[in-house]
């Protein structure tokens, strides 16, 4: 692994991106489709309706990609790049585990980054049940190891006793590293409330 150049962290799993898109946007698309169908009726409006629907179906993917684009890592410089945003590893202070359950498996996505500097994502276990590739896992562990990931604090809970419930999905640095090294399978316990 050449540490002096930018290395891509993971591959974009478009199904996961689309399935984690905001549900409200999909509802808006369905409403627009219904309105366009009613307005245009049978008079050749099908093509317009199909284009509007296709654009609406792609919108969640575009929005999700803009919110957390493909991450790139430069180990020598200690930087994480997400689109135009660049974070030093020390600026990474949040790690959030997102879980999507299907009939056959459980998809695990780790979002990590700064509270105000953007979040990157890495699929730890995909929809086929496959864990993150060893090369990507090693790269992500190197990033997390040099990060300042910690549980967020609420002023109403200075001791952090209820942090798991105040900030569901957030994990500590050690938990994030453990998740990357050994992504839990469908029936394995998770470090977050489910």
Do 53 and 78 share a structural domain? no
Residue 194 belongs to some domain of the structure: no
Residue 54 belongs to some domain of the structure: yes
**Of 25, 52, 67, which residue sits at a domain end?**
67
Q: Of the candidates 118, 48, 36, which has an alpha carbon nearest to the alpha carbon of residue 81?
A: 118
pLDDT tens digits, one per residue of 50-81: 666 666 666 666 666 566 678 999 999 999 99
Q: What is the pTM for the complete model shown?
A: 0.74
Q: What's the mean per-residue pLDDT of the chain?
A: 81
pLDDT higher than 90, residue 93: yes
Do 144 and 80 share a structural domain? yes
| Percentage, residues of the chain above pLDDT 90 | 41
**Of 48, 67, 86, which residue sits at a domain end?**
67
- Four-residue CA torsion sign, 106, 107, 112, 117: negative
Quickly list DSSP for the chain.
--TTS-EE-S---HHHHHHTS-HHHHHHHHHHHHHHHHHHTTSS-HHHHHHHHHHHHHHHHHHHHHHSPPEEEETTTTEEEETTEEEEGGG--EEEEEEEE-SS-EEEEEEEEETTTEEEEEEEE-TTSPBPPHHHHHHHHHHHHTS------BTTBTT-TTHHHHSTTB--HHHHHHHHHS---TTS--SS--
Do 44 and 116 share a structural domain? no
Q: Which two tokens stand for residue 65?
A: 């990609």
Do 89 and 124 share a structural domain? yes
Residue 141 belongs to some domain of the structure: yes
pLDDT higher than 70, residue 30: no
Which residues form the domain of 48? 15-67
Total domain count, the chain: 2
Environment class of 178 (CB within 10 Å of its CB; exposed 0-12, middle 13-18, buried 19+):
middle
Do 119 and 94 share a structural domain? yes
Residue 187 belongs to some domain of the structure: no
Among 107-116, 118-127, 160-169, the least confident range: 160-169
* Residue 139 banded pLDDT, cuts 50, 70, 90: very high
Residue 23 belongs to some domain of the structure: yes
């Amino acid at each position: 692994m050449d540490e002096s150049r930018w290395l891509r962290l993971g591959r974009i799993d478009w199904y996961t991106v689309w399935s984690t898109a905001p549900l409200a946007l999909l509802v808006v698309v369905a409403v627009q489709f219904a309105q366009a169908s009613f307005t245009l009726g049978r008079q050749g409006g099908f093509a317009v309706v199909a284009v509007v629907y296709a654009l609406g179906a792609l919108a969640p993917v575009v929005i999700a990609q803009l919110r957390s684009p493909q991450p790139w890592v430069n180990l020598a410089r200690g930087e994480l790049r997400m689109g135009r945003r660049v974070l030093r590893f020390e600026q990474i202070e949040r790690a959030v585990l997102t879980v999507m359950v299907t009939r056959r498996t459980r998809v695990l996505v780790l979002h990590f980054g700064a509270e105000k500097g953007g979040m990157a994502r890495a699929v730890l276990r995909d929809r086929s049940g496959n864990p993150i590739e060893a090369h990507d896992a090693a790269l992500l562990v190197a990033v997390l190891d040099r990060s300042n990931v910690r549980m967020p604090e609420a002023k109403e809970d200075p001791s952090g006793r209820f942090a798991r419930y105040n900030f569901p999905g957030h994990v500590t640095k050690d938990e994030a590293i453990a998740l990357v090294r050994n992504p839990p399978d469908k029936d394995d316990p998770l470090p977050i409330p489910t």
